[in-house]
Amino acid sequence: MVTFGIFAVMVALMLVGVPVAVAMGITAVGTFILLGEGSILAMIAQRMYYATTGFTLLAIPFFILAGNLMNTGGITNRIFRFANSLIGHVKGGLGHVNILASLIFSGMSGSAVADAAGLGLIEIKAMDDAGYDRKFSAAITAASSTIGPVVPPSIPFVIYGSITNTSVGKLFLAGFIPGVLMAVSMMVAVSIIARIRNYPKGNRASLKEIWESFSGAVLPLLTPVIIIGGILFGLFTPTEAAVVACVYALFLGLVVYREIRVRDLPRILWETALQTVRVLFIISAAGFFGWLLIHQRIPDAVIVGLTSFSASPEVLLLLVMGILLVLGCFMEGIAVLVITIPIFMPLITRYNIDPVQFGVVMILCSMIGLVTPPVGMSLYAVASISEVDIWTLSKELLPYIVGILIVTLIIAFFPELALFLPNLIS
C-alpha cells in the first residue's frame, strides 16, 4: 500500500505540471516525514550529490556540448544534404531522408532532443516546401530522433553503465544493430503511409551530386569512427571520448566550415549548461528517491512479486518491459532509468540475463516514453518547433511507436542481435 501511495503521489504531481525532479523530491521528503523518520532528511544533500559524482557521468555535459556545437556549426545541414542525395528519390523520399539523417547524426550527439531540435527544423522546413503534411513531417521527426540515444554515442548508455558498472564501450557497440533496426522499421512505416497518402518523391541525384554531398559531409561522418575507434583501441575512455567529440566539433565549426563564431560560444556553453543541469538535477533527485525505495524495501518486494509469475527469463523481460513502458508515459526517461535499474539488476543477475542486452532493452523502452504523452520530451520539442498540437502528433506517431516496440521485442527474444558486436571484442 505504501508503494502504491508513493508512486501515485509522484505521478499526480507530474500530471499537474510539477517538474519531474521536484515531484520525486517532494514525494521522498513527504514520505519520510509521514513515516516519522524526518531525521533522515539530513542526508538529502549527501544522497543527491553522491548520485551525480560518478566519473562516467562527466561524459553527459560533453556529449550535450558536442551536439550543440554540431547544430550551430552547419554539420546538420551537410548531413541532411548527403542523406537526401542517397534516398530522396523514392516514394515519400524526404521521410526516409529524415530517418537516415537522424541515424547518421545519432552517431555524433547521443541525444534525442538535440536531434529533434537541430535536424528537426531543417527536416520539417524541407518537407513543408515539398508538399508533405505538417503532422507527418513532425511525427517522423519526433520518431527518428529516438534513434539518437540508441546508436553510439549515447547519454542513456553512459548513465546505465555508470550505475551498473557495465562496460560503456560494449553498450555503445550493442546499440548499433538495434538502432539500424529502428531506422528500418520506421522506413517501412513511411513507405506504407507515403503510398496511401500519395506523397511526392524527389529527383534522383547523379553520382556527381552524391559525391559532392558526401565530400561535404565526410568530416562529420568521421565523428562516430573517432569516438568508437578510440574507445575500442584503448586510446581514451568513453568520458574522454565525449571531450574528443567536443574538440572535433569545435574544430569543424570554427576552422573548417567557419559557421561558428567566437561570439557564439558563450550562448552555446550557456545552453549546454542549462541542458546539463536539467539532466543532472533529475539524476540527483532520482538518487534520493531511489534511496527511499530501498529504505522501504520496495526492490525486494518487486523481486518477490515478479519471480512469483514465472521462472522464464523471457516472461520476466516482458513484465519488466511492461513496467518500463507504463512508467515512461509519466516520467522522464532518465528518471525511469535511475530509479528502476537498482530494482531490476538483482533480477537480471538471478535469471542470468546479460546486462548489456538488458541495457539495450531498457533504453529502447525509454525511447517510446520520449514520444508518448504526457511527458515525452521529444514529443514536446517537436510539437513546439512544428506547431502541431500534442494529441494530433501523438496519433500520427502510433505506427513508429509500434515499430520501436517490435524492435524491442526482437532484442529481448533474440539477444544475439545486440550482443554480436560486443562479443567480437570480449
3 state SS for 229-281: HHHHCCCCCHHHHHHHHHHHHHHHHHHHCCCCCHHHHHHHHHHHHHHHHHHHH
79-90 pLDDT tens trace: 888 888 888 888
Hunting for cell 570480449 — which residue is that? 426
Spell out, as residue ranges, where the chain has pLDDT lower than 50: none
- Spell out a b/e string for 247-265, using b for 16 or more CB atoms within 10 Å of the CB, else e: ebbbebbbeebeebeeeee
Q: For the chain, which residues make up each domain, given as ranges?
A: 43-425
Tell me what pLDDT residue 226 has: 83
Q: Which of 154, 169, 317, 333 is nearest to 235 (CA)?
A: 169
> HSE of 412 in the Cβ direction (CA atoms, 13 Å)?
23
Hunting for cell 500530471 — which residue is that? 15
Distances (CA, A) of 97 to 38, 126, 142, 266, 392: 55, 10, 14, 32, 23
Rounded Cα gap, residues 172 and 158, in angstroms: 9
Contacts with 63 (C-beta within 8 Å, 6 or more apart), sequence order: 109, 110, 111, 153, 155, 158, 242, 245
**Could you tell me the pTM of the whole model?**
0.79
Hunting for cell 506523397 — which residue is that? 199
Tell me what pLDDT residue 394 has: 87
Question: Which H/E stretch holds residue 53?
Answer: none
